[in-house]
Structure 1
Amino acid sequence: MNKMLTGAAAALLTTALVSEATALEWNVSTWGKRRAFTEHLEKLAELVSEKTGGDFTLNISYGGLSKNRENLDGISIGAFEMAQFCAGYHRDKNRSLTVLELPFLGVNTLEEEVAVSNAVYAHPAVQDEMAQWNARLLMTSPMPQYNLVGTGEPRDELSEFEGMRVRATGGIGQAFEAVGAVPTSMTATEVYNAMESGVIDTAAFAQHAHLSFGTINRADWWTANLNPGTVNCPIVVNVDAYEALTDDQRAALDSSVDEAIAHYLANYGELLKRWDSVLEEKKVEKVVLSDEVLAEFRAKAADPARDQWIEEMSAQGLPAQELYDLVMSTLEQTRAGN
């Protein structure tokens, strides 16, 4: 009897050790706090764990693993297995992705943002550039068009942008520079203090970020329809870590992406529905710019920025015109499909 019990205990111990040995945890680096911008990561973690019975889990860290601007570097050296970053934080490291940050691309919905991002992510030149950082693109973090919150008197004429100190990265920063503003590229976590201390007058963010990083609490006004562009923030995985997954683990991860994005879109949609009530609660004035002002802004910012980007990226050996045309054709196809 004792021998039988000893044998059964040994078998249970062996099973437990094997299970522990095959369990896998990935560290995921992002920043700030849980918010609409990270809901697809949270959903992805939930789905992967469910599909693998807890044998593959994603441990999401909000700033504990790396600084915002260093997530791609961390992926490249294998400091963690998955990370979120924004192309505008280091344009020289992800040049091809910055096509998605050009001003006034005409992307109107989050669904369109997903479509153009997926098309660009699948392009060989983009994948090759990411491979230089040992990174594999997994999914995007679709955001609506950015708009400004500002202090003082509302700015609803283009002449009033002259000398305006604005937090704006990437192509959005270029757009404001084209109309005489002074853009500053700082990470999201630095913006509130910059507004509070008067370093900047205005900040360009999507709605969730104005809420999450508190800029809405410093604001006197918000531009409802400026829509100069957005930033592109992919989720990437370390190539070595991805290739080391078992077939079941890889299938669980890959098959969860679409559902995670769908969850993100639904969640963000609810935030957009209640945005007007947030403005009312915070006593923030909604500024609507005239069609004439918007047309003038586009004329000064959109075409010159696009032409300059294509020229500079082509000179660096990237298929810039092809990438830009891909964005435009994807937009057209997406709208035709709807």
Structure 2
Amino acid sequence: MKKILLICLALVMGVTLILVGCGQKAAPAPGPAPAAPAAPAAPAPAPAPQKYEFIYTDHAPPTAGGNVLMHEWYLPRLKEMLGPELGNKVEFTWYHASSLFPYQDQINAVEQGLADICTWVNSWEIERAPLNDVMSLPFMGFQSSGIGTQAWEALNITIPEVAAEYKGFEVLGRWNGLKRYIGTNAGALRTPTDYKGHKIIASGIIGEIVQSFGGAALQLAPADWYTSLDRGLADTLIVGMSMYPMFKLTEVLDYAVSFPSGDFGYTGTNWVMGEKKFKSLPIEMQGAFKALRAEFVAQMVAVDARETAKGIRAFIDSGGKLETLTAAEEQAWIDVASPFHQKWIQGNEAKGRPGQKVYDAIKNWIGIYRQGLATQGIGG
């Protein structure tokens, strides 16, 4: 009996083990490792600007020779150099005659990115570029706009302290033009003594010279010249003859003098772009602006000669009288101006600037270009 029970129990256990084994599933074979997540797609390149816009601001009317050149020659020439694909994207918006900013605020506007390009007149920006204002000294021996322009360019190339004064700006061109004449409506005034007590529109170093012989120097915006002379707030203006028709000065001045040496001085003017704006441009556009510089300056020197002749004709045709000083009369002006050369040197040296070095260098470059020993393709 026991033997039968043991056999039955063994059969039950065997069946149970078989059923349990049949109910278990085999472990799955290991599958392939999961794929690494895909790298994010690279961002699409920013689309090229549809337009490259430049806000241009200056103090002269649109009919001024330099502004006519900018419209009719500079911008078309720039586009030509860039080629149609890029050149057609360039647009200038023009604000002449201080219509966007007063003349004294234009450099600040470009520096702050409120405008892109403007003119920079040395005698208005002495605090920014005191060493470059050496170009404002009278009786330096320039003799012509071309010689002065070449000497000034060479000065900036060879003396780092001079070039550093334009930090934050890209110089598109510079030109030492507007040979000075003295115009008045107070009679035939010829020597410094004659001008004592007169109200004379003059800026920078020339204004200091005026004060030294007893004149009252007034620094006024070009837009205010006509009104001041017309209303008797001033009676004399020291400026280039090309300004006469431009600002209708032939209506308020009737006598003018020139200097036999042609060397009472010139007005240094730059065209500058904000450095940030310049560096934001495509490399090929930066290169075009740089390549255009020498050609632009040569054009401006030629324009200066034409506009000066035009101004002289307009003044004489309006009934004005233009006379050349005698050698003795010019010497009287040289005598009052000469001390300001040393004053300029000492004033810069006292502030840690290399005044003597710059003065000697510009005199040297003037001599080189007067002798024709060097050339940068700038006429004069």
Relative to structure 1, the CA distance from residue 57 to residue 49 in structure 2 (aligned partners, 3 Å threshold; closer, same or farther) is: farther
- Once the two structures are superposed, residues 119-170 of structure 1 have per-residue CA deviations (whole angstroms, 9 ceiling, x without a partner) of 2333321332221xx2232211331321111113110233211112110111
What is the total number of aligned residue pairs between the two structures?
318
The residue type paired with residue 49 of structure 1 is: K
After superposition, where does 1:177-256 map in structure 2 within 5 Å?
A: 177-225=211-259, 227-256=263-292
Relative to structure 1, the CA distance from residue 208 to residue 144 in structure 2 (aligned partners, 3 Å threshold; closer, same or farther) is: same
Partner residue in 2 for 1:176: 210
Partner residue in 2 for 1:87: 122
After superposition, where does 1:136-155 map in structure 2 within 5 Å?
A: 136-155=170-189
- Find the partner of 1:46 among 70, 76, 87: 76
| Cα distance in 1 between the residues matched to 2:298 and 2:65 | 12
In terms of fraction of residues, the more helix-rich structure is 1
| Cα distance in 2 between the residues matched to 1:186 and 1:266 | 27
Contact 1:151–1:219 (CA under 8 A) maintained in structure 2: yes
RMSD of aligned residue pairs (Cα, Å)? 2.1
Query: Cα distance, 1:87 vs. partner?
Result: 1.9
| Cα distance in 2 between the residues matched to 1:80 and 1:319 | 32
Contact 1:87–1:232 (CA under 8 A) maintained in structure 2: yes
| Cα distance in 2 between the residues matched to 1:276 and 1:137 | 30
- List runs of 5+ in structure 2 lacking aligned partners: 1-45, 374-380
| Cα distance in 2 between the residues matched to 1:129 and 1:81 | 18
Contact 2:145–2:266 (CA under 8 A) maintained in structure 1: no
The residue type paired with residue 247 of structure 1 is: I
Relative to structure 1, the CA distance from residue 308 to residue 276 in structure 2 (aligned partners, 3 Å threshold; closer, same or farther) is: closer
- Once the two structures are superposed, residues 24-81 of structure 1 have per-residue CA deviations (whole angstroms, 9 ceiling, x without a partner) of 1111211231212434533322211222222233333212332111111112211122
Query: Is 1:99 the counterpart of 2:134 in the alignment?
Result: yes
After superposition, where does 1:1-338 map in structure 2 within 5 Å?
A: 21-34=49-62, 35-42=64-71, 43-52=73-82, 53=84, 54-62=88-96, 63-122=98-157, 123-131=159-167, 134-225=168-259, 227-302=263-338, 304-337=339-372
Please, which moves more after superposition, 310-319 or 90-99?
Answer: 90-99
Query: Cα distance, 1:184 vs. partner?
Result: 0.9
Contact 2:175–2:301 (CA under 8 A) maintained in structure 1: no
- Once the two structures are superposed, residues 198-220 of structure 1 have per-residue CA deviations (whole angstroms, 9 ceiling, x without a partner) of 01110011111122112222112
| Cα distance in 2 between the residues matched to 1:334 and 1:321 | 20
The residue type paired with residue 201 of structure 1 is: D
Contact 1:89–1:187 (CA under 8 A) maintained in structure 2: no
Query: Cα distance, 1:18 vs. partner?
Result: 5.3
Equivalent position SS for 2:99: coil
| Cα distance in 2 between the residues matched to 1:178 and 1:294 | 16
The residue type paired with residue 173 of structure 2 is: M
The residue type paired with residue 47 of structure 1 is: R
Contact 2:176–2:266 (CA under 8 A) maintained in structure 1: no
Query: Cα distance, 1:276 vs. partner?
Result: 4.3
| Cα distance in 2 between the residues matched to 1:276 and 1:200 | 21
The residue type paired with residue 163 of structure 1 is: G
The residue type paired with residue 262 of structure 1 is: A
| Cα distance in 2 between the residues matched to 1:26 and 1:121 | 26
Relative to structure 1, the CA distance from residue 67 to residue 207 in structure 2 (aligned partners, 3 Å threshold; closer, same or farther) is: same
| Cα distance in 2 between the residues matched to 1:273 and 1:151 | 21
| Cα distance in 2 between the residues matched to 1:171 and 1:300 | 12
Contact 1:164–1:202 (CA under 8 A) maintained in structure 2: yes
Query: Cα distance, 1:244 vs. partner?
Result: 1.6
The residue type paired with residue 50 of structure 1 is: E
